[in-house]
C-alpha cells in the first residue's frame, strides 16, 4: 500500500491510497482533474472516494470523478448523507471496511463539522485527519465547540505515537509560527519550524507528520505546557485556568492570527 499526496486547489491535499493490486482510493478530492492525472501517473485504477467531511474543498471533485468512474464507492459519514455528493457507503463511528487487503477504520471526530470523520489504516500506521488535526494546528470550530474538538483530537492522539498523520491542508508553516507565539521556549517546536521552513522553501509537502510530533509541537494538544497556559492566561485575565477554557482561547487567538 502506497500513499501519494496530491496537491489540489491552493493549499489542499487529496491523497491516493494505492493497494498492491493497483486499486486506488482517493481521500478528499477537492477537484477531479489533478486526481485523475495522479491516478494515471501512478498506473493505478480509481475504485473509491473517502470523504472526511462535506466542505466543498474536500468533496468538490466527487461528481466529476463519478462521471469518469460511475462504479466508484463513495464513503462518508452517514449523518452527512445529504451533504456528501454521490455517497454510496454511509459509515458510522467505529465502522471497518476492507481496502486492497488492508483494514480501514472510521473514527468520528466532530467539531470542525458535525459529521467529520478520520480514516485510520492500522496496518499502514496512517490516519487521514481532514480538517480536524493539522500539522501544528486544528480546524476551525464551525459546528462544534472547544470541548468537542478537544475530545475529537484526543481520539486521534490515542493512536500509536508513530502513526503518520495526513491532513487536509498545507497550513503547517503558519500554524507553527502561531505556536511559537505561545511557546517560544519549546525547542522541539523551534526545530520543527526551521525544518518546515526549509521544506516549504524547496516546494516540498510538510506532510505526513506523526502523532508524536504533534503532541510535542501542536498548541491544541499541549494543555500540559506551563508556558502555553501562562501566555494564554496573561492575554485573557478573566479566562478560568482549565484546559478546555485555555483551548478555546487558543483557538480564538488562532482565528485572528
Give the interface with Zn ion as residue ranges (CB under 5 A).
55, 131
Q: Please give the sequence-ordered ranges of beta strands (E in DSSP) within 109-188, or none if there are none.
A: 117-121, 126-130, 133-134, 137-138, 164-167
Q: How far is the CB of 139 from Zn ion (least distance, A)?
A: 6
On whether the CB atoms of residues 53 and 116 are closer than 8 A, the answer is: yes
Cα–Cα dist 54/198, whole Å: 33
Retrieve residue 90's grid coordinates: 454511509
Q: How far is the CB of 153 from Zn ion (least distance, A)?
A: 15
- Is residue 151 annotated as part of the catalytic site, yes or no? no
Please report how many Cα atoms fall inside a 13 Å half-sphere around the Cα of residue 40, on the Cβ side.
7
Give me the residues paired with residue 7 across strands: 13
Specify the residue, 131 or 170, whose C-beta has the smaller distance to Fe ion: 131
Give me the residues paired with residue 127 across strands: 120, 165
- Is residue 131 annotated as part of the catalytic site, yes or no? yes
Specify the residue, 80 or 131, whose C-beta has the smaller distance to Fe ion: 131
Q: Which residues bind Fe ion (CB under 5 A)?
A: 57, 131, 168
Question: Helix (H, G, I), strand (E, B), or coil: what is residue 196?
Answer: helix
Please report how many Cα atoms fall inside a 13 Å half-sphere around the Cα of residue 62, on the Cβ side.
24
Cα–Cα dist 254/146, whole Å: 13
Q: Which of 28, 54, 58, 116 is catalytic?
A: 58
- Is residue 116 annotated as part of the catalytic site, yes or no? no
Q: How far is the CB of 112 from Fe ion (least distance, A)?
A: 8
- Is residue 55 annotated as part of the catalytic site, yes or no? yes
Specify the residue, 14 or 104, whose C-beta has the smaller distance to Fe ion: 14
Q: Distances from the Cα of 130 to the Cαs of 86, 183, 193, 219, 236, in angstroms?
A: 19, 25, 21, 18, 30
Q: Which of 28, 54, 80, 112 is catalytic?
A: 112
Q: How far is the CB of 175 from Fe ion (least distance, A)?
A: 14
- Is residue 255 annotated as part of the catalytic site, yes or no? no
Tell me which of Fe ion, Zn ion, none is bound by residue 31, counting a contact when its beta carbon lies within the kind-specific cut-off of 5 to 8 angstroms. none
Residue found under cell 489533478: 34
Specify the residue, 55 or 251, whose C-beta has the smaller distance to Zn ion: 55
Specify the residue, 113 or 210, whose C-beta has the smaller distance to Fe ion: 113
Q: Which of 54, 55, 116, 120 is catalytic?
A: 55
Q: Which of 57, 80, 116, 120 is catalytic?
A: 57
Q: How far is the CB of 54 from Zn ion (least distance, A)?
A: 8
Q: Which of 54, 116, 120, 169 is catalytic?
A: 169
Contacts of 158 (CB under 8 A, 6+ apart): none
- Mind telling me the catalytic residues? 53, 55, 57-58, 112, 131, 169
Amino acid at each position: 500500500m502506497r500513499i501519494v499526496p496530491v496537491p489540489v486547489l491552493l493549499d489542499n491535499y487529496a491523497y491516493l491510497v494505492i493497494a498492491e493490486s493497483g486499486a486506488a482510493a482517493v481521500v478528499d478530492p477537492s477537484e477531479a482533474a489533478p486526481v485523475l492525472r495522479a491516478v494515471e501517473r501512478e498506473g493505478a485504477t480509481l475504485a473509491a472516494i473517502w470523504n472526511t467531511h462535506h466542505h466543498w474543498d474536500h468533496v468538490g471533485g466527487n461528481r466529476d470523478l463519478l462521471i469518469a468512474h460511475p462504479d466508484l464507492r463513495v464513503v462518508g459519514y452517514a449523518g452527512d448523507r445529504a451533504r456528501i455528493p454521490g455517497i454510496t457507503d454511509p459509515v458510522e463511528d467505529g465502522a471497518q471496511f476492507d481496502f486492497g487487503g488492508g483494514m480501514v477504520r472510521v473514527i468520528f471526530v466532530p467539531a470542525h463539522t458535525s459529521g467529520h470523520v478520520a480514516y485510520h489504516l492500522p496496518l499502514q500506521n496512517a490516519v487521514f485527519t481532514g480538517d480536524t488535526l493539522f500539522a501544528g494546528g486544528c480546524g476551525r470550530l464551525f459546528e462544534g465547540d472547544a470541548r468537542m474538538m478537544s475530545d475529537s483530537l484526543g481520539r486521534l492522539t490515542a493512536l500509536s505515537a508513530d502513526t503518520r498523520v495526513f491532513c487536509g491542508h498545507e497550513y503547517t508553516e503558519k500554524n507553527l509560527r502561531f505556536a511559537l507565539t505561545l511557546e517560544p521556549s519549546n525547542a522541539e517546536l523551534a526545530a520543527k519550524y526551521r525544518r518546515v521552513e526549509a521544506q516549504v522553501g524547496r516546494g516540498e509537502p510538510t506532510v505526513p507528520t506523526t502523532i508524536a510530533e504533534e503532541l510535542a509541537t501542536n498548541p491544541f494538544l499541549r494543555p500540559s505546557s506551563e508556558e502555553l497556559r501562562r501566555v494564554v492566561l496573561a492575554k485573557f485575565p478573566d479566562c478560568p485556568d482549565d484546559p478546555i477554557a485555555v483551548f478555546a482561547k487558543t483557538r480564538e487567538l488562532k482565528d485572528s492570527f
